[in-house]
């Protein structure tokens, strides 16, 4: 059985280190916002190249709290893509703002910046650039649009920890950037976790207050905050995994290079990565007109790919006719029927990669 992702294999490959980091926390008598969280925040922000890191409970909260810190709320609009985890859009709605969804580029599957001007209104406050599958959205185009119109640029880096754009790490370009540390992500906890990064100190202070009841000083709420804390056990695990992040991303890239070389099948399109970007291949997503048949064919070989995502956000029951979309969402809608995420995780063996590639190569529709 070859799964799409396998977080257990990552735990097992660093078991001794993780077990001892967790044991230390258990014996520390500091379980919430202690030294592990503070150290993880500093180490992760330094790794990204941002001035400040603030740990939160998950990636959805990271986005919501980032927007609240930017004072985005009811009556405001935030532009992003429909081709993303539903979390990106759910976070916009959680602030009370209205999501405005645009289509994606047909080659890289990231935000189609040409649609931004037509969706701009006097209520637009920010654009969320989602770096999907491990690769970057076009930060030059989106960044220029945001600075021309005075909008905040929010990066959703939940699928691209460690990826770069012109040599600089994603998450260091936006006004603020948000990461999920869900177990299958490139930097994954063994449970929920997330982190917000920014180089704007007042903004960082506000995020820090919002994640814990609006406190600057204990028990004194100055802002309307909430509870979204990262815990010490997850922070200790994330610190340890951060030390291995570059090595595990290198393994993902090597697997992607093998797939690129071996999968030469006219029925299957391989991923296209922008020249400015060094992808970290959170997912290796192929595209086929015969996606469902390809899925069945691989399942027969005991290979179990994923689909990211089977229904675009704007066509899901919860969002139908409620979110505003660009006039054409054709690429997003086509992708939901055509994308397939092949097994991709650092611990995948060379033999397993060959098995997957051979099975994909043998697909005849
Ligand atoms: C995983 C993910 C999120 C949400 O993260 P959670 O930790 O599950 O809340 C947000 N955006 C994108 C693009 C993601 O992949």
| pLDDT single digits (tens) 82-96 | 999 999 999 999 999
Determine the distance separating the centroid of ligand 1 and the alpha carbon of 130, expressed in angstroms.
Answer: 10
Question: How many angstroms separate the CA atoms of 281 and 345, rounded?
Answer: 9
Question: How many angstroms separate the CA atoms of 128 and 100, rounded?
Answer: 10
User: What average pLDDT does the segment 201-210 reach?
Assistant: 98
Q: What is the DSSP string of 145-206?
A: HHHHHTPEEEEE-TT-TT-EETTEETTSSSSEEEEE--TTSSS--SS--EEEEES-HHHHHH
Its pTM stands at 0.98
Question: How many angstroms separate the CA atoms of 5 and 293, rounded?
Answer: 21
User: What average pLDDT does the segment 131-135 reach?
Assistant: 98
Question: How many angstroms separate the CA atoms of 146 and 96, rounded?
Answer: 21
Could you tell me if the CB of 182 is within 6 A of ligand 1? Answer: yes
User: Of the candidates 293, 289, 286, 269, which has an alpha carbon nearest to the alpha carbon of residue 343?
Assistant: 286
Helix (H) or strand (E) holding 41: helix 35-48
User: Of the candidates 260, 281, 4, 246, which has an alpha carbon nearest to the alpha carbon of residue 135?
Assistant: 281
Select from 159, 171, 181, 283 the residue to mutate for testing ligand 1; criterion: most ligand atoms less than 8 Å from CB.
Answer: 159
Q: Which atom of ligand 1 is nearest to the CA of 60?
A: 9
Cis bond before residue 309 (omega within 30° of 0): yes
Q: Which residues are CB-neighbours of 22 under 8 A, at least 6 positions away?
A: 233, 236, 237
Q: Which atom of ligand 1 is nearest to the CA of 181?
A: 7
* pLDDT recorded at residue 322: 86
Q: Which residues in 86-95 are b (16+ Cβ under 10 Å) and which e? A: bbbbbbbbbb
Angle at 65 between CA 172 and CA 25, to 5 degrees: 85
Number of neighbours of residue 150 by Cβ within 10 angstroms: 8
| pLDDT single digits (tens) 105-129 | 999 999 999 999 999 999 999 999 9
* pLDDT recorded at residue 305: 98
| pLDDT single digits (tens) 219-269 | 999 999 999 999 999 999 999 999 999 999 999 999 999 999 999 999 999
Question: How many angstroms separate the CA atoms of 109 and 271, rounded?
Answer: 9
Question: How many angstroms separate the CA atoms of 245 and 44, rounded?
Answer: 11
Could you tell me if the CB of 60 is within 6 A of ligand 1? Answer: yes
CA distances from 16 to 19, 40, 199, 240 (A): 5, 19, 35, 11
Could you tell me if the CB of 341 is within 6 A of ligand 1? Answer: no
Question: How many angstroms separate the CA atoms of 26 and 7, rounded?
Answer: 22
Question: How many angstroms separate the CA atoms of 74 and 265, rounded?
Answer: 49
Report all structural domains of the chain as residue ranges with CATH numbers, in order of start: 2-101+109-239 (3.40.640.10), 245-361 (3.90.1150.10)
Select from 58, 67, 85, 111 the residue to mutate for testing ligand 1; criterion: most ligand atoms less than 8 Å from CB.
Answer: 85
β-pairing, 339-342 vs 284-287, is: antiparallel
Tokens coding 187 = 């930097």
321 pLDDT tier (thresholds 50, 70, 90): confident
Could you tell me if the CB of 288 is within 6 A of ligand 1? Answer: no
Could you tell me if the CB of 193 is within 6 A of ligand 1? Answer: no
CA distances from 189 to 59, 141, 183, 235 (A): 12, 33, 5, 8
Q: What is the mean pLDDT of the chain?
A: 97
């Amino acid at each position: 059985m070859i799964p799409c992702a396998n977080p257990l294999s990552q735990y097992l490959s660093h078991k001794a280190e993780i077990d001892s980091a967790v044991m230390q926390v258990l014996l520390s008598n500091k379980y919430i916002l202690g030294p592990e969280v503070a150290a993880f925040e500093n180490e992760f922000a330094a790794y990204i190249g941002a001035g400040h890191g603030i740990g939160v409970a998950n990636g959805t909260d990271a986005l919501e709290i980032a927007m609240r810190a930017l004072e985005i709320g009811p009556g405001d609009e935030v532009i992003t893509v429909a081709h993303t985890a539903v979390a990106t859009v759910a976070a916009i709605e959680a602030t009370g703002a209205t999501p405005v969804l645009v289509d994606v580029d047909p080659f890289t599957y990231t935000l189609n910046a040409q649609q931004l001007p037509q969706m701009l209104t006097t209520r637009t406050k920010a654009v969320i650039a989602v770096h999907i599958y491990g690769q970057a959205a076009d930060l030059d185009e989106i960044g220029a649009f945001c600075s021309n119109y005075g909008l905040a640029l929010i990066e959703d880096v939940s699928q691209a920890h460690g990826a770069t754009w012109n040599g600089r790490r994603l998450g260091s370009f936006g006004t603020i950037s948000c990461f999920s540390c869900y177990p299958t992500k490139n930097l994954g906890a063994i449970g929920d976790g997330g982190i917000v990064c920014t180089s704007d100190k007042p903004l960082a202070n506000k995020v820090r207050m919002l994640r814990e009841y609006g406190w600057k000083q204990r028990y004194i709420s100055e802002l309307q905050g909430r509870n979204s804390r990262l815990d010490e056990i997850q922070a200790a695990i994330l610190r340890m995994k951060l030390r291995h992040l570059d090595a595990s991303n290198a393994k993902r890239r090597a697997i992607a290079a093998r797939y690129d070389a071996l999968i030469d099948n006219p029925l299957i399109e391989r991923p296209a990565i922008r020249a400015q970007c060094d992808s970290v291949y959170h997912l290796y997503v192929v595209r086929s007109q015969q996606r469902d048949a390809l899925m069945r064919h691989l399942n027969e070989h005991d290979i179990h790919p994923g689909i990211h995502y089977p229904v675009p956000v704007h066509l899901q029951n919860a969002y139908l006719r409620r979110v505003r979309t660009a006039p054409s969402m054709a690429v997003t809608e086509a992708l939901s029927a055509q994308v397939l995420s092949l097994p991709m995780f650092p611990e995948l063996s060379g033999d397993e990669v060959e098995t997957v590639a051979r099975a994909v190569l043998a697909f005849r529709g």
